[in-house]
Amino acid sequence: MSIHVKGLKMQPQVIATTPFEGQRPGTSGLRKKVGVFRQPHYLENFVQAIFDTQTDVAGGTLVVGGDGRYYNREAIQTILRMAAANGVKRALVGRGGILSTPAASCVIRKYRTRGGIILSASHNPGGPDGDFGIKFNIAAGGPAPESVTDAIFARTQTIREYRTLDCPATDLDELGTVRIGDMDVEIIDPVSDYAELMESLFDFNAIHQLFNSGIFRMRFDAMHAVTGPYAKEIIETRLGAAPGTVLNGEALEDFGGGHPDPNLAHAKELVAMTEGPDALDFGAASDGDGDRNMILGKKCFVTPSDSLAVLAANAHLVPGYRAGIRGVARSMPTSQAADRVAEQLGVECFETPTGWKFFGNLLDAGRITLCGEESFGTGSDHVREKDGLWAVLFWLNLLAVRQQSVSEILAEHWRRFGRNFYTRHDYEAVDATAAEGLMDHLRILLPGLAGRQLGEQTVRYADDFAYTDPIDGSRSERQGIRIGFESGARIVFRLSGTGTEGATLRIYLEFFEPDPERHLQDTQEAMQPLILIARELAQIEARTGRSEPDVVT
Ligand code: G6P
Ligand code: ZN
């Protein structure tokens, strides 16, 4: 069989292949070095496993886009050919192959498609020696649940062939529709649907007035990643912020050699701009694919855990959430600040495993409106991904309505709810066996910990977190070690599910301070006793050879 289009012969092809080891999607899709993805058949096997297991995608519309990192365009060409050969009827592709992760979720939902394939390794560095990633999002717009990723993985282990089309590359830079094989490829503006959604949620007039007041100075750092074009359109064009408000707004394939992770370690320049005599009033940043956010005020950093709590407490001030929120969810290692807000508001609060996919069912079922994670992710039921710019606009909307600074809003929040001091210590690229050994060592200790005195704290409970999804009853085990103390303090140990080199050990520490007189203490100093307990209990130095964490946020 051959199909004729515009005089071109397009031959469907069935290519023989053999399975690759290790195509199991992690916390957020399959992430590997670019070199791994570039092996012949590697990407193709994974994509075919998606089509083989997600059979309703054929015959419908599929969204395709990515964060623009190195290999994005090549991967999209491969995916489009394979989609056409696998019977997909229509592909919606962001111009230039660009779609931020939240924008992809928005497009999947708005056009009621059968799902999407997102190309990104999120905040991991890009370029020929950097990382690449691929994930499948379901029709609801969110990352595939574990049942789906397990099925895809299982398929990659038995795959024998994949289907593709022998055809020239599609022009990704011209808006409009072209046809490859029997599939329409519609190149869409990657920004407009998303920008429209933001306008429907936030009070753009109020934010515009804040920008026009002449006394408010802000910068948004796009870190040379995907949010550049989104932030320029929304913050500078639609909201009228001065040109130059968006820093590093040009999206580059290697993110300018940077590490597009918006945190205190990787967004140093921006942090510096919010300190010192000439400090900005507001600073914010997003990551490689636009789903993470960091919020800074003048000389102040809002932890993602506090951010979720503040947004929950103030949601009624924002048009999109005026009716109030239904419930809140946070990932297990995220601080319990949001729990206190939920309690006062009289709404449900859920503790889920790390990974945005665990919020999907709760959002779909209307049990929660807002959700967030300590890993710089915040979002709501407007899409099914966390959303960096959304969080920034939410904060701007609050600043405009409350006419207060970020630090005033925070201080007031803590006075009302108490403060959950919080920090995360990361030990990166640790020997994988040593890291597993450390976790096993902790697991062995667990049964004997309750009631024990550690430093000045008494252990109330110690477990390996397991979660039963309240909507579909699915069970996820071994999601991280929790040690809770009588004082309300907590230590959590977890191995990262997103790293691509060795293992990354994360230690999350938190304690509750009701006394406003003590709310301005230095976090690391105040945390010192808990930090010592964590290091001793896990025998970190002896087992990893590390005496200090690589990253403290
Ligand atoms: C990705 C996911 C987040 C998750 C984070 C955890 O960013 O989208 O939902 O919180 O990974 O990363 P980690 O490296 O701690 O597994
Ligand atoms: Zn991301």
22/166 same-domain check? yes
Q: What is the CATH number of the domain that holds 495?
A: 3.30.310.50
Boundary-marking domain end, from 165, 190, 215 = 190
Name the residues around ion ligand 2, CB cutoff 5 A.
122, 287, 289, 291-292
pLDDT tens digits, one per residue of 101-118: 999 999 999 999 999 999
pLDDT tens digits, one per residue of 309-334: 999 999 999 999 999 999 999 999 99
481/338 same-domain check? no
178/209 same-domain check? no
201/239 same-domain check? yes
156/223 same-domain check? no
pLDDT of residue 27: 76
Percentage of residues of the chain with pLDDT beyond 70: 98
Helix, strand or coil, per DSSP, at residue 279: coil
Residues 267-289 as b or e (16 or more Cβ within 10 Å = b): beebbebbeeeebbbbbbbbbbb
Atom of ligand 1 nearest to the CA of 498: 14
DSSP annotation of 232 reads I
pLDDT tens digits, one per residue of 385-423: 999 999 999 999 999 999 999 999 999 999 999 999 999
Q: What is the CATH number of the domain that holds 63?
A: 3.40.120.10
pLDDT of residue 11: 78
Boundary-marking domain end, from 190, 210, 237 = 190
383/482 same-domain check? no
**Catalytic hit among 28, 120, 122, 331:** 122
User: pLDDT averaged over the chain?
Assistant: 95
pLDDT tens digits, one per residue of 54-104: 999 999 999 999 999 999 999 999 999 999 999 999 999 999 999 999 999
Give the structural domain span for 309: 194-417
What is the bridge-based pairing of β-strands 419-430 and 453-454? unpaired
pLDDT of residue 9: 57
Q: How far is the CA of 345 from the centre of ligand 1 (A)?
A: 28
CA dist 214 → 3, 209, 217, 240, 492 (Å): 61, 9, 8, 12, 44
Atom of ligand 1 nearest to the CA of 123: 7
Name the residue among 434, 436, 423 with its Cα closest to residue 494.
436
Q: How far is CA 463 from the centre of its chain?
A: 26
53/157 same-domain check? yes
- Note whether 65 and 97 are within 8 A (CB): yes
**Positive/negative CA dihedral, 29, 31, 34, 39:** negative
Boundary-marking domain end, from 417, 437, 453 = 417
Give residues (CB < 6 A) around ligand 1: 27-28, 122, 331, 354-356, 373, 375, 377, 496-498, 506
CA dist 199 → 154, 193, 208 (Å): 42, 10, 12
Global pTM reads 0.94
9/72 same-domain check? yes
178/310 same-domain check? no
Q: Is 158 exposed, middle or buried (0-12, 13-18, 19+ CB in 10 A)?
A: exposed
Q: What is the ipTM of this complex?
A: 0.98
Structural domains of the chain, count: 3
413/423 same-domain check? no
pLDDT of residue 500: 65
171/286 same-domain check? no
411/518 same-domain check? no
The segments of the chain whose pLDDT lies below 70 read 1-9, 500
Active site includes 122? yes
